[in-house]
Structure formats: structure tokens, C-alpha cells
Amino acid sequence: MSKYYKKDNCFPNEIFIQEAIEHYFLGYDFIINASGHVDLIAEKENEKWIIEAKGLTSSVGVDFNTCLGQLIKSMKDSKTIYAIAVPKIDSYKRQCEMISDYFRKLVGLHILVVDRTGNVSLILPNQPYSEIFN
């Protein structure tokens, strides 16, 4: 990992989230690129993921919206899977719930939720948040 982070590598900081999703994709034999303009690109055969990650900050709403904006700007084709990765905490649950189901389905937005042990759960574009966040 070559990015610079201001906070320590502990839950729910961004570096913790970043490393958890890297390990998650490596566990499924993806090739990882974390050196570009997006936080993570994971590729395997004909599957490509572009992911923006966020951790707990003093301005969760602003930083969450920034994360979504960064991801939207990277959306270039319909074959790539686009996702955000967030810690499993109430403030991010509330932010995720503000994204309409319509939008999630329209753009195929996946959400990777990282718990305090580093386990990653995937919320599909048509899946309720409650299945993962509760």
C-alpha cells in the first residue's frame, strides 16, 4: 500500500478499511492496484471492481458525499463493478441509508461494510442495508 493516511491503522480509520478490502479481494485471487486516482482497483479474469473507501472522520457526511462523488467521476462503463467501502458504524449506516434504492440499482452501487475485526460484508445494489448493518 503506497497511500498516505493521517490516522493510525485501527478501526474505524480509513487505512484499516483500505487494508481490509485489499485482503478481502486478495483472498479471492484478485490482482490489486491501490496506487491510482481511486482507492482500489481489483481485477480477476473478466471482473473489475473500482472502490472508494472512507473511514471515520470529524465530518462523516461531507466525507461520505466526497467518496460518492469520487466514485461517480470514475464510472466509465457498465461492465465494471463500482463500490464504496465503509466501517460498520451507525454514522455510516445513516449515510448509506440516505442513498435511494433507485440510485443504487440504477448505477449498480455495491457497498462493502468492514467490521472491527476486518471482516468484509457485501451489500448488493438491490439488497436491504439491514441485512448487513444490524
pTM: 0.93
Closest-CA residue to 32 (of 50, 17, 8): 50
Q: How far is CA 105 from CA 8, 56, 101, 126, in A?
A: 34, 26, 6, 6
Say how far apart CA 118 and CA 72 lie, in whole Å: 26
What pLDDT is stored for residue 25 in this prediction? 98
Say how far apart CA 78 and CA 68 lie, in whole Å: 17
- Which CATH number do you get for residue 77? 3.40.1350.10
> How many independent structural domains does the chain possess?
1
What pLDDT is stored for residue 130 in this prediction? 84
Does residue 112 fall inside a structural domain?
A: yes
What pLDDT is stored for residue 36 in this prediction? 82
Positions of the chain with pLDDT lower than 50, given as ranges: 1-2
What pLDDT is stored for residue 1 in this prediction? 46
